[in-house]
Homo-oligomer: A and B are copies of this chain.
Amino acid sequence: MSGNTFGKLFTVTTAGESHGPGLMAIVDGCPPGLPLAAEDLQQDLDRRKPGTSRHTTQRQEADEVEILSGVFEGITTGCPIGLLIRNTDQRSKDYSAIKDLFRPAHADYGYHHKYGLRDYRGGGRSSARETAMRVAAGAIAKKWLATQGIQVRGYMSQLGPIGIPFESWDEVHNNAFFSPCAGKVPELEAYMDQLRRDQDSVGAKITVVAEGVMPGLGEPVFDRLDAELAHALMSINAVKGVEIGDGFASVTQRGTEHRDEMTPEGFLSNHAGGILGGISSGQPIVAHIALKPTSSITVPGRTITVDGEPVEMITKGRHDPCVGIRATPIAEAMMALVLMDHCLRHRAQNADVQVSTPVLPQL
């Protein structure tokens, strides 16, 4: 495969650039019989879409999705599901300013060397706009996972220097930051307002949790569930780190502290983040991702032209001062894609497996 298909059995193939006619996705391998409508996808698309608050890019995109195939009379048929989103707000602005130079810390330099040419309008294929189709496909996965009793949710756990304690899932959708803590929202807003005044950007940390996952998902030794999650989450624009469970905190932990002991009543802890030996343990699956600060800022920076000439530039246009703010639905989508793919892979090989051993909850 050439990089634009994700998954083994439940596969998502996407296409489309930031300022082209539109975005496409083909979702293959969805079991038949699932009720599905464009509205199911629109819900998550709206959570990701830009311009919903003053803290994100002001680009206006309805991100209206059309289902072109694979659904008949409101039910999936088992045939590939074709998705289409037309781009509506591609300003016919003049790109000559960035056409011949590489914006610092952007994909420009790599794309130029890889392909020899690039669609520089709004970043082309490397634009975060591409993630819209991940969210649309992820919504299909979420809906199917729900039929298996699996729920995938995420929240912002840190914005720049501000750690955000988890308080409640209900709060997450009451604010523009996907913050699970209402009390922190004013601080977050003040920080973002100052950041915009500084014309700077900042990083963020997102946490994604899957509950109701049965034990047994994951395909050792290379397609361990944690390895596939790392692949999925690290493939999101701007992500620079992935942790499962305690992640890097494990480095300083002792075995007596880290190991999750088991009792007939359940696991006594979940340092592992729900994955042991690359296979789900039945405990909640917990992953954290680090997103870097946006590179598109209006503070002048040094770079070079395609001819290697030095130049100082600022990145104009409409940008997110913190890409992490819109990343929660994307991270949820990627985790959902991985889990659905592994549910199918698991039952393909192990549909006949039966064990009398109890499935332990987390205490």
Stretch in A48-56, A179-187, A277-285 touching the partner: A277-285
When A and B form their complex, which 6 residue pairs have the shortest distance between CB atoms, in order from nearest? A107-B277, A3-B219, A110-B279, A2-B29, A348-B348, A201-B255
A290 touches B243 (CB 8 A): yes
A216 at the interface (CB under 8 A from B): yes
B279 touches A114 (CB 8 A): yes
B344 touches A107 (CB 8 A): no
A205 touches B82 (CB 8 A): no
- Residues 207-227 (chain A) with a chain B CB within 8 angstroms: 214-224, 226-227
CB neighbours (8 Å) of A79 from chain B are: 4, 15, 17, 115, 119, 124-125, 220
**Copies of this polypeptide in the complex:** 4
Cα distance A32–B293 when bound, in Å? 30
- Excluding A4-B28, A241-B242, 6 further A-B contacts by CB distance (< 8 Å) are A9-B348, A16-B69, A77-B124, A203-B252, A240-B248, A258-B295
Cα distance A202–B259 when bound, in Å? 11
CB neighbours (8 Å) of A214 from chain B are: 113
Cβ contacts A103-122/B at 8 Å (1 or 0 each): 01111111111111111000
CB neighbours (8 Å) of A124 from chain B are: 72, 77, 79
Contact residue among B33, B262, B306 (Cβ-Cβ distance under 8 Å from A304): B262
CB neighbours (8 Å) of A241 from chain B are: 241-244, 247-248, 250
B347 touches A32 (CB 8 A): no
A155 at the interface (CB under 8 A from B): no
Contact residue among B161, B217, B272 (Cβ-Cβ distance under 8 Å from A105): B272
Minimum distance in angstroms from A24 CB to a CB of chain B: 4
Minimum distance in angstroms from A268 CB to a CB of chain B: 7
A75 at the interface (CB under 8 A from B): yes
A253 at the interface (CB under 8 A from B): yes
A110 touches B215 (CB 8 A): yes
B72 touches A119 (CB 8 A): yes
A308 touches B358 (CB 8 A): yes
Minimum distance in angstroms from A76 CB to a CB of chain B: 9
A360 at the interface (CB under 8 A from B): yes
A200 touches B13 (CB 8 A): no
- Residues 280-304 (chain A) with a chain B CB within 8 angstroms: 280-282, 290-297, 299, 301-304
Q: Which residue of B lies closest to A200 (CB)?
A: B254
